[in-house]
Copies of this chain bind each other. A is one copy, B any other.
Amino acid sequence: MPQPPAPRRTLGRPPRFSRAEVVAAARRIVDAEGVDRLTMRRLATEIGSTPMALYHHVRNKDQLLVLLLDDYAARTLRRPELPDEPRERVVVAAAAIHEALADCPWIVEVLTADDLMSASALWFVEQIVDGLVAGGLPPERAVHGYRAIWYYTAGEIMIRATATRRRTGDDKPTYRDQVFAALDPDELPRLSQVAQRWAPLTAEDTYLDGLRALVDGLLAAR
């Protein structure tokens, strides 16, 4: 016996779509056409509505991107086997977050949204804080340590992402190249020494090295 469409218990005009549907539609657009095509108008047509209707489900486009990131994290973050040794546990957990984020370059615009507070990322945060505590830090310092790791990780992703984006744009010499070409070896000997190697050197992916150094430093007894 088909129930009558469950009696509405909420006042007001019933919504034609939910926030979840908005996020799902946004995901379809991003996956199929790239993040540049994700505009509020495009999203509205995808959902069969008008741009301003979306604003009753998300506060603004930034929040939409945060939700998209949450959605992405929930779908792709898998909990890896973590080593027992505290230092290595921290490194592996942070690297897992980094890898997931680096795979999805459009997040950059969202990444400054304070902490990475997707519920599905919390487990990794827990592992990092716990690893730091197991390594000998008091809880407060462990939180600070996690923050430092997060600053480093987010900074790396943001800077690297915009760098590659610019590089694909045009191949003209960048501002950086000009500056490096005009170095005065007497005043800046070290930079002159590495000037020619600067571009390839900074293009290398050394996230893990830096992360290890940071975690080592955090866990070193002082």
A residues with CB within 8 A of B:
66, 108, 112-115, 117, 119, 122-123, 125-126, 129-130, 133, 139-140, 142-145, 147-148, 150-156, 158-159, 161-163, 166, 174-176, 179, 183, 187-191, 193-194, 197-198, 201-202, 204, 206, 209-210, 212-218, 220
Please indicate the chain B residues that have their CB under 8 angstroms from the CB of A148 in the complex.
152, 206, 209-210, 213-214
A154-B155, A155-B152, A214-B217 given; A144·B209 CB < 8 A: yes
Chain B nearest Cβ from A60, distance in angstroms: 11
- Bound-complex Cα distance A164 to B145 (A): 20
Q: Which of A119, A204, A209 neighbours the largest number of chain B CB atoms within 10 Å of its CB?
A: A209
Cβ of A122: which chain B residues have Cβ within 8 Å of it?
179, 183, 188, 191
Say whether B217 contacts A212, CB under 8 Å: yes
- Which of B66, B123, B201, B216 has a CB less than 8 Å from the CB of A217? B216
| CB within 8 Å for A112 and B202 given contacts A139-B190, A152-B152 | no
Decide if A155 touches B144 in the complex (CB within 8 Å): no
Contacting A198 at CB < 8 Å: which of B143, B151, B161, B187?
B143
Please name 23 pairs of A and B residues whose Cβ atoms are closer than 8 Å in the assembled complex, sorted by A.
A66-B175, A112-B162, A114-B166, A115-B176, A117-B175, A123-B187, A123-B188, A129-B194, A139-B193, A140-B201, A143-B197, A144-B204, A144-B206, A147-B206, A151-B155, A151-B156, A154-B155, A154-B158, A155-B156, A210-B214, A212-B217, A216-B220, A220-B220
